[in-house]
Amino acid sequence: MKKIFLFLLATMLLTSCGGNGAAVKPADDPARAANFNKTYPIVDSLLKVMTLEEKIGQLVLYTSDWDVTGPSIREGYIEDIRSGKCGNIFNAYTAAYTRKLQEIAVNETRLGIPLLFGYDVIHGFRTIFPINLGISSSWDPGLIEESACVAAREAAAAGLHWTYSPMCDICVEPRWGRISEGAGEDAFLGSAVSRAMVYGYQGADLEDPFTIAACVKHFAAYGAPHAGRDYNTVDMSERWLREFYLPPYKAAVEAGAQTVMASFNEYDGTPATANAHLLTEILRDEWGFDGFVVSDYTGVMEMINHGTSADLADASVKALNAGNDMDMQSGGYSEFLKKAVEEGKVSRKILDEAVRRVLTVKARLGLFSDPFKYCSEEREEAETKTEENLHTALVLAQESCVLLKNHNNILPLSKNSPVAVIGPLANSADDLLGTWRGAGQVEGVKSILDGIKEMAGSVVYTPGCDVEKESQALFSHAEYAARSAGTVIMVLGEPCDWTGEAASRTSIRLPEVQTELLKEIAGTGVPVVLVLLNGRPLDISEESELADAVLEAWYPGTMGGEAVARLLFGEASPSGRLSVTFPRNIGQIPIYYWAKNTGRPYVDIGAKYESRYLDCPNEPLYPFGYGLTYTTFSYGKPVLSSDSFGPGGSITAKATVTNTGSREGCEVIQLYLRDMLGSVTRPVKMLRGFQRVLLAPGESTEVEFTITQEELSFWRKDMTYGPEAGEFRLFIGGDSSCEDYVTFTYND
């Protein structure tokens, strides 16, 4: 009877304005704030009647499994759900399966509190979009938001409430495999991407059954591991952390993200899983985050290996006290927190606040009013891989590809022309899906070879070599195929399992056999178009010289084969721009456009005592923001509305951009600023704005950017945040290497 009463109470009070339920206020979008700024008295009602064991159970997250017959769960976890000792499950999906588990929680427990189901929906659920590094290369927040919306609809239809995305980790270390999951090297662009993804997942109202809760990860600075080795130590100053790494997390929190995942790494000597400075002082006290924090997989247990906890009991106490509300898979909260609370090692107030945050997210999702609203098999079938979803995936795949080279305008190719397709990845549909492809399935996915066959007049194909085995036995077949065609399309790169979690590399070159194959084919004199599949920036200095054209396709997802073919044959025009720098070789790592000037910048070619290499230029192979199209653009000099402004004021910068080529094309116009004098050293450039414009041949447009004190602000010498008076340079161009600038001053 108590359970029935509580559900009736929930139905009556879910949208009430009273009570003490916490509320998210998306600071950068007031229109959304009203829908997230609801309170839920049912949370207080439950807290008053829950036992200590039931409260702890809401902080426990266990995994489901998958076998040949479909989803499954360990026998002990079913009993934990039934007894109220486990309130959350991840890796459980399909509407029928989640209904089965939810029925146990709702109908067979004392209070009937519904389960929360989570899953890694990283770049799509069934319809797979390009990997996140590719998505960010579109520089199209609106389309990125739409892709997250599609992912949310499909995931919600399969019974899921919660995704462990967006990954907001800035990374300048291409050896790290998980660079593939983020938005690249820049905090401004990364913030735009993380904000768009949160909006896409969560929509305007989480009670909408087509939305899911977002999870900001990995908090914080997971993308800066020493030596690029996954899970490794992270060490940086507080200023560096705040200026170059924290902004994308903060943007996602301000957009209303309901949950945050603590990272595996340590920060300032303390594992993030129990780092009160990160989880409480910054996240909650400074940023006002009121959702819940979850550990990463066995993150609590791993504090023992870090050497900061004697055992799992100690780790569990430290994690919860620091602000880590939910334990993913370690089992320590379930086993040890009851005793810790009874002994006073964890206060009942801290426990109750953690439980309140979890229950509030469940309430915001509408699970108390209808715990089965995500469990419709009819909706699951209707929402999965629809024509509209696949179209969004196609367009985003096209926008994510970056044209790095196009010598003599070899691209686009003429339709119906004979081509030879060579390369071990050309006929692989599976690799197109990339790492962390969620519930994506390769069935029905067209390879790049399939896509080319639909465009070209005649196609001859040979793999030419294995992905990495050194045998050259097929080289002669590849050479014969090349000589028989007018153009060669070579598809080379990394297999998809070479990137992602636990996939760090000490080399960022292509496997040697692939480069040798490219040399062999280039030696025939037949024009070569190189298509790259990879999840990190690569050292392709040699390959770029050998090929006539280079198209960076990343891992482009379900519609990637068709998208690449459309770009190669001119059905679509490349518009992607790099969200991360491509080095000339591994010795330049870390390399990023927002570097600082040093006391001896390299300005005098041939000078010895300047910051330079003896054997390599300082400049990258391809800079951040770079990308070609099938046309050309010219930029007029920026014009400022004023040469100075002060607090509360602003100036506008305008520039005329003209399509000077013979084809329609999309340009990504980028605004960079440089602070010429600061109380602390400042980067040589910082991205502070961008716009995508589509121009017909000969067409011009005037773009306009507004600069306020926010665009000039940084963490000053005394660690306060704001601008400083002085001179600034303003650049508007097509990538981070643009040089023409105008100056203005900021006056206190």
pLDDT in tens, 262-321: 999 999 999 999 999 999 999 999 999 999 999 999 999 999 999 999 999 999 999 999
Handedness of CA 558, 561, 562, 566 (dihedral sign): positive
Does the annotation mark 65 as catalytic?
A: no
End-to-end Cα spacing for the chain = 66
The predicted model gives 244-259 an average pLDDT of 98
Cβ neighbourhood burial of 54 (10 Å; 0-12, 13-18, 19+): buried
- The alpha carbon torsion through 735, 230, 585, 401 (nearest 10 deg) reads -40
Which is more confidently placed, 583 or 39? 583
Both tokens assigned to 223? 């993308």
Q: What does CATH list as the number for 400-588?
A: 3.40.50.1700
pLDDT of residue 340 exceeding 80, the answer is yes
Q: What percentage of residues in the chain have a pLDDT greater than 90?
A: 93
Confidence of residue 70 (pLDDT cuts 50, 70, 90): confident
pLDDT (0 to 100) of residue 39: 78
pLDDT in tens, 676-724: 999 999 999 999 999 999 999 999 999 999 999 999 999 999 999 999 9
pLDDT (0 to 100) of residue 24: 33
Tell me how far apart the alpha carbons of residues 603 and 560 are, in angstroms, rounded to a whole number: 42
pLDDT of residue 13 exceeding 90, the answer is no
pLDDT (0 to 100) of residue 19: 31
The predicted model gives 441-449 an average pLDDT of 97
The predicted model gives 60-80 an average pLDDT of 91
Confidence of residue 21 (pLDDT cuts 50, 70, 90): very low
pLDDT of residue 545 exceeding 70, the answer is yes
pLDDT of residue 216 exceeding 60, the answer is yes
Least confident of 69-78, 128-137, 176-185: 69-78
pLDDT (0 to 100) of residue 34: 55
pLDDT (0 to 100) of residue 205: 93
Q: Residue holding tokens 């427990």?
A: 109
Coil vs helix vs strand at 689: strand
Q: Map out the domains of the chain as residue ranges.
A: 400-588, 633-746
pLDDT in tens, 598-621: 999 999 888 899 999 999 999 999
Confidence of residue 11 (pLDDT cuts 50, 70, 90): very low
pLDDT (0 to 100) of residue 1: 37
pLDDT of residue 184 exceeding 60, the answer is yes
Confidence of residue 37 (pLDDT cuts 50, 70, 90): low
Class of domain 633-746: mainly beta
pLDDT (0 to 100) of residue 3: 52
Rounded to a whole number of angstroms, the CA Rg of the chain reads: 27
Number of H helices, E strands in the chain: 24, 29
Please tell me which residue in 140, 169, 296, 327 is annotated as part of the active site: 296
Confidence of residue 29 (pLDDT cuts 50, 70, 90): low
pTM for the structure as a whole: 0.95
Closest C-alpha among 693, 573, 582, 577 to residue 635: 693
pLDDT (0 to 100) of residue 33: 60
Q: What percentage of residues in the chain have a pLDDT greater than 70?
A: 95
Cα–Cα separations (whole angstroms), residue 485 to 422, 518, 531, 561, 746: 11, 16, 17, 21, 60
